[in-house]
Structure formats: structure tokens, C-alpha cells
Amino acid sequence: MRYDLEYVLDSALDGVLIVASDHRLVLFNRACEELCDTSRQDVVDKAYWKLSDFHQSWEAISKKDGRITYGELGAKKERMMLTHKEGKRVWVETIYTPIFDKETGEIAYVMGVIKDITELKRIEDEKERLQKELGNIRRELESKYDFSAIEGTSSQILHALKLAAQVAPQNTTVMLVGESGTGKELLAKAIHYNSSRASRPFVALNCSAFPDTLFESELFGYEKGAFTGADKSKPGKIALALGGTLFLDEVTSMSAATQAKILRVIQEREYEPLGAVRSTLADIRIIAATNKDLAPLVREGSFREDLYYRLFVYPITLPPLRERIADLPALVESLLKKFHHEMGKRIQEISAEALEVLMGYHWPGNVRELQNVMERLVILSKEDRIEVPDLPRYLVDSAGAKPLSSGIPGERFDRSSLENSVHDFERNLILKALQKCGNNKTRAAHLLGLTRSTFRYKLSKISPDYFPAADRKAKSV
């Protein structure tokens, strides 16, 4: 049986076209018609192909031995986008192959094989887009969890940051101590992203979130068949954090049995997934956190002393917001920026009185609570400024009970006489500087080596009466 070439080529799924040496198109199969959205009557013997770019190299090849290798063929690929009449776009890749005249060795025809690569192109574009996005996210993550993302210039927070920056590059176990919402997890991430483990995962596990048995399977993972219902194996958090950092939050919630196992992980750097016969290496750095004082728990025997010492190698204490209330304006400013970025809603100003209310509140939920309050304010605000009536009632009531500007120290300042003295000292210094500069705030700020905005915050804190009426109305953030 002899094959009818045109019939065979019409059955091919790829487009096949043949151009004669005078550039005239002599064959255009059915798949070509579909891919190019052109009927063969319109092009065969009518269209001319310019293949001069390829000719030279093909001639050189034909001079060699008349054969062309696969690698060289690959170099003659061409990609283009074809737009169909109804607007559909098709990406195609064509591979051109010369067909040499047996006698003369000259190029007699060029065959083009056209493949539809629309889906491949879409996947490639998507891959490129994802790679770019991944790069952006990684950069964003690194800057988000950079130490600079931790707001505050109070001595307590600066001290915590300094300790964290010093220990970050080491593999040392770190213990973060602080009330809920003081930024323990944020600091743990900053430590991780500033360590040599930064490109590996940061995995957080809250020890109080699971009952005892579940917690162990979360932490260590399990092998298939380890217990009824374990129909496949599951990696634990230690395996997920491999090469990276495991953040163990609320460590006081661990049972005695889990404490013993965690101790082994820290001491031996080894663990066994449930049902495993062999132990696995635990290449993780541990950062632990607690919002409770661990020492009394050790004394009463509910927390292992040996584990306590293993975890407390390098403790860092994060102060509650009320003990570093001077940081609140900067936190408010950065939160407003963050919500502007996330929600596209911009708050331009927060009145000095509203800021004073915020600074007078005791913030039991710390920065997390402040964040929630600010988010709510941004969502609900109809204007681009926040005034006292916009604030939640409990905040106004609580702050009103102990006004910060009254000069009578609120109970939060009774905690230490040092804090009281520093406050009074700062207040006197600011008032004296103002007197000296004829109430000119810019000059007074300069005299004290403060920026004008820091000076204004400090002033609003100690004596709002110093703001002239118009000035006092709005405080720009």
C-alpha cells in the first residue's frame, strides 16, 4: 500500500506546512488551517514564506553531510501568537526542517511543524508570575519580620530587640516571656528571619491548643498504622520545621509526658514519630514563649526543672504596652499605615484628645488589642479622622476615670517610683524648655534634641493644655 502523503498529513494533530525553495507555500494541512484560522485555498500557491534567516545555517549544514542533528533543529524553533478572526489567541511553536535535494544537495523544501502551545505558554507564564510573586512575598516576609517591623523606641523594647538581634544568628534556644499580645510571636519570627535558617520554615505550635495525646501527634507526627485510623503517615511540626525554627507557644500547657519528650528533643536532637521504630534527627531551633511566670510552676512541681533550665538559656522579656505607653503613638501610626495598605482606607488624623484616651487605657490585651481597636476604627470610620466619640465606650470610660493629663499619676505609674520620677523629670524638663523658648514648640523640641512630632506626643501626654485651641483639635499621624 502506498501512502497518500497529503491524506496522512491531514490526519496529523500537529500543523504541517511545506514551502518550496522559491518560498512558495505548497502544502498546508488541516491542523494548520485550524491553528492559523486560514483555509488552504487562500494560501497554498499564493502565500510566500520568508525563511532567509534560516537558510544560511541550513546551507552550512547541508555542505557538511546533508544531515541535521536534533540539537541543531531545536535552534530553529519559532514561537508566535496567532489571533483568530473571532478574537481567540493561540500560541504556536514551529520547528522548521530543511528537505535537501538528493542530487544537488540544495534546499528543495522547508517543512514547518506547528504545535499548539497555548496551554504550555499559560503554564510557563503562570510559573514566571508565581516565581516573581514568591520573590516579592519572600522579600515582604523578610521585611515584615525584620526587627524594624517591631515598633517602639522605649528602653524596654529596645533592650528586648538588642538581646534578640544578638542571639538571632546563633542556634541558641530562646525563651520569650510576656503577656499575651506583647509581640512574642512577632519577635520569634524576626529572630528566625535574621538567622541562617531564614530560608527554611518557621513553624508555630501552640501547646495549649490540643489535648495531650493529640498534641504529641501534632508535634512528632505518626507512622501509618500507629493507631486505629492512622491509614497514612503524617509528619509532625518538628519534621515540618526541618532546618528551620519551631516556635513553641504557651509552654506551660505541656503535660508531664510531653515535657519529658520535648526535653529529649532539646537534649538529644532526636525524636520518634508515633509508631516509628527508629528515631529521627530533629534539626530545629526552638524558640519558646510563655505568658505565665514559670518559676512558681517549677517550685510546685508542675513544670520540670531540667526542662526549665533547658528553655531558659536565653530569656527575653517583652514589656506590656501599658509599661511602654510612650510607644503607643508610633504603634497607632504604623497600624493606620498597615490598614491603609490592606483596606485602601486612609485615616489622616487622630485627634490629640482621642490619642490621649488611648494612652490612658491599660491595654490588658496589649498590641493585639490595640490592633483590633484600630482595625475596627478604620472599618467604621466615615471621616478620615478619628475623634473621641469614635472610640469604643469602654476605652473612654476607663481612660476618663484616670486622666493621664491630670498630673495625678494613674495606678500604672505607681508600680515603681523610678518610673514616677522619670515621668516627673521629663515633664519638668519639657515645661522648662517651653518657658525658655517663649512657648515655641519647634525651638523647645530642638533644645531637647527631639523631633517636633516626638515633642508634641510627649507634650500631649504630660500637658494637653499646652496645645493652643486650634492646634489641639487635630493631631496629625
Ligand X SMILES: Nc1ncnc2c1ncn2[C@@H]1O[C@H](COP(=O)(O)OP(=O)(O)O)[C@@H](O)[C@H]1O
| Cell representation of residue 462 | 504630660
Of 201, 217, 198, nearest to 209 by C-alpha is 217
Question: In the bound complex, which residue of the shown chain has the CB atom lying closest to Mg ion?
Answer: 185
For ligand X, give the closer residue by CB, 184 or 310.
184
Is residue 186 near ligand X by the rule CB under 6 A? yes
How many Cβ atoms are within 10 Å of 401's Cβ, its own excluded? 10
In the list Mg ion, ligand X, none, the entry touching 114 (Cβ below 5 to 8 angstroms by class) is: none
Residue with cell string 538529644: 268
Size of the site for ligand X (CB under 6 A): 15
Least distance (Å) between residue 444 CB and ligand X: 28
In degrees, rounded to 5, the angle at the alpha carbon of residue 210 between the alpha carbons of residues 207 and 213 is 105
By the 8 A CB rule, do 464 and 405 touch? Answer: yes
State the binding string over 132-171 for Mg ion (x if CB under 5 A, else -): ----------------------------------------
Is residue 322 near ligand X by the rule CB under 6 A? no
Is residue 184 near ligand X by the rule CB under 6 A? yes
For ligand X, give the closer residue by CB, 126 or 146.
146
Stretch that binds ligand X, among 107-115, 123-131, 214-222, 365-373 (CB under 6 A): 365-373
Determine the Cα–Cα distance for residues 148 and 144; give it in Å rounded to an integer. 8
For ligand X, give the closer residue by CB, 157 or 474.
157
Is residue 179 near Mg ion by the rule CB under 5 A? no
What is the phi-psi region of residue 144: left when phi exceeds 0, alpha when psi lies from -120 to 50, beta otherwise? alpha
By the 8 A CB rule, do 430 and 464 touch? Answer: no
Largest CA distance in the chain: 112
Is residue 15 near ligand X by the rule CB under 6 A? no
Determine the Cα–Cα distance for residues 53 and 104; give it in Å rounded to an integer. 21
475: β partners: 350
By the 8 A CB rule, do 164 and 178 touch? Answer: no
| Of the candidate residues 14, 116, 151, 185, the single one contacting Mg ion (CB under 5 A) | 185
Is residue 180 near ligand X by the rule CB under 6 A? yes
Is residue 178 near ligand X by the rule CB under 6 A? yes
Determine the Cα–Cα distance for residues 59 and 107; give it in Å rounded to an integer. 7
Is residue 360 near ligand X by the rule CB under 6 A? no
For Mg ion, give the closer residue by CB, 185 or 349.
185
Is residue 14 near Mg ion by the rule CB under 5 A? no
Determine the Cα–Cα distance for residues 467 and 475; give it in Å rounded to an integer. 10
In the list Mg ion, ligand X, none, the entry touching 445 (Cβ below 5 to 8 angstroms by class) is: none
HSE at residue 188, side-chain half, CA atoms within 13 A, is 29
Least distance (Å) between residue 115 CB and ligand X: 50
Least distance (Å) between residue 123 CB and ligand X: 36
Is residue 151 near ligand X by the rule CB under 6 A? yes
By the 8 A CB rule, do 118 and 166 touch? Answer: no
In the list ligand X, Mg ion, none, the entry touching 152 (Cβ below 5 to 8 angstroms by class) is: ligand X
Least distance (Å) between residue 227 CB and ligand X: 32
| Of the candidate residues 15, 98, 112, 183, the single one contacting ligand X (CB under 6 A) | 183
For ligand X, give the closer residue by CB, 178 or 244.
178
For ligand X, give the closer residue by CB, 186 or 352.
186
For Mg ion, give the closer residue by CB, 185 or 356.
185
Determine the Cα–Cα distance for residues 261 and 218; give it in Å rounded to an integer. 13
Least distance (Å) between residue 341 CB and ligand X: 14
Binders of Mg ion in range 372-401 (CB under 5 A): none
Determine the Cα–Cα distance for residues 91 and 352; give it in Å rounded to an integer. 60
In the list Mg ion, ligand X, none, the entry touching 150 (Cβ below 5 to 8 angstroms by class) is: ligand X
For Mg ion, give the closer residue by CB, 185 or 327.
185
Question: In the bound complex, which residue of the shown chain has the CB atom lying closest to ligand X?
Answer: 183
Binders of ligand X in range 32-71 (CB under 6 A): none
In the list Mg ion, ligand X, none, the entry touching 367 (Cβ below 5 to 8 angstroms by class) is: ligand X
Determine the Cα–Cα distance for residues 470 and 467; give it in Å rounded to an integer. 8
By the 8 A CB rule, do 309 and 258 touch? Answer: no
In the list Mg ion, ligand X, none, the entry touching 156 (Cβ below 5 to 8 angstroms by class) is: none
Binders of ligand X in range 70-129 (CB under 6 A): none
| Of the candidate residues 107, 219, 325, 367, the single one contacting ligand X (CB under 6 A) | 367
Is residue 294 near ligand X by the rule CB under 6 A? no
Binding site for Mg ion (CB under 5 A): 185
Binding site for ligand X (CB under 6 A): 150-152, 178, 180-186, 331, 367-368, 371
